[in-house]
Amino acid sequence: MFGSSNSGSPGVALVAMELTIVGCSGSFPGPASPASCYLVTADGFRLLIDLGNGALGALQQYVSPGDIDAVLISHLHADHCIDMCSYQVFRTYHPAGPLPPIPVYGPAAAAARLDLAAGGDSGHPISDAFAFVTLTPGTIEIGPFTVTADHMNHPVETFGFRLEHGDRSIAYSADTGVTDRLVGLAAGADVLLCEASFTDAPGLPANLHLTAREAGEHASRAGVGSLVLTHLVPWNDVDVTLEQAASFSGPLSLAQAGRKV
């Protein structure tokens, strides 16, 4: 939980921004966590960031999927978006009747790609369940959040995000290789939720993912308040991941499913 903010307007209390890590497993689900999914709430508004493999199930520990107000999709790799197909089923065939479309902000072609992944032949296109909005770099308002999106360094179009509410801010790297854009997006943020898919090894592919060491370096350059390492790939040793990010001198921790920040 972040510290509470005060709007200064009598009777209008801002409810502090809270981040729940629903899933933080990198590239595929792990034994203790679904793939990427983060629930961010403030002022009663519930925003999902990514909905990767297995996340729709775990999400129900924290909120009814019917109560989500909007979704942000960083990119169209399955470990960040594939449970949107199941989420369509939840909204379309809900016993109370079809739930109204909620906005889904994502890369161009998100609707077409997810419709294909869902089967595409049910007579219920995914665009009936969601109101897709194509993301471009820049700043938009989503509910009570000011959301800035920028391109990251990944083989498909990928957006990192910065969410601001009151005087608090969270930045999220999504999937990325080394990039100054992440430093700019996260500059001065209270929390950077940064991917650390790799640990040091020779011959790592470029322009794909960050090592834990690079995550620490990006966080230091951005001057963030704290660094939470995420997109933790199950075959890595998390103690090594944490140790290699230690060039970041502020509070440093590992994401964990169920953790609230």
Tell me how far CA of residue 237 lies from CA of 21, 41, 55, 241, 244, in angstroms: 20, 31, 22, 6, 11
Comparison of 150 and 175: residue with beta carbon closer to Zn ion: 175
Q: Would you count residue 77 as binding Zn ion (CB under 5 A)?
A: yes
Q: Which of 144, 147, 200 is nearest to 174 (CA)?
A: 147
Stretch that binds Zn ion, among 76-84, 104-112, 180-188, 236-244 (CB under 5 A): 76-84
- Nearest residue (CB) to Zn ion, 77 versus 151: 77
SS3 label, residue 192 = strand
Q: How far is the CB of 66 from Zn ion (least distance, A)?
A: 26
Min dist. Cβ of residue 176 to Zn ion (A): 9
Span of 59-67, 120-128, 171-179, 212-220 interacting with Zn ion by CB under 5 A: 171-179
Q: Which part of the chain contacts Zn ion (CB under 5 A), choosing from 10-18, 174-182, 217-225, 235-243?
A: 174-182
Best CA proximity match to 72, nearest among 170, 211, 214: 170
Asked if 175 is part of the footprint of Zn ion (rule: CB under 5 A), the reply reads: yes
Q: Do 107 and 75 touch, CB atoms closer than 8 A?
A: yes
Nearer to Zn ion among residue 46 and residue 231 (C-beta): 231
Which has the closest alpha carbon to 49: 11, 85, 83, 90?
83
Stretch that binds Zn ion, among 14-22, 38-46, 70-78, 210-218 (CB under 5 A): 70-78
Number of chain residues interacting with Zn ion (CB under 5 A)? 3
Residue 79 sits in the site that holds Zn ion (CB under 5 A)? yes
The answer to whether the CB of 204 falls within 8 A of the CB of 218 is no
Of the candidates 167, 176, 174, 171, the one whose C-alpha atom is nearest the C-alpha of residue 223 is 171
Separation of alpha carbons 208 and 176, rounded Å: 6
Question: What would the x/- binding string for Zn ion be over residues 217 to 236, using CB under 5 A?
Answer: --------------------
Which residues of this chain interact with Zn ion, rule CB under 5 A?
77, 79, 175
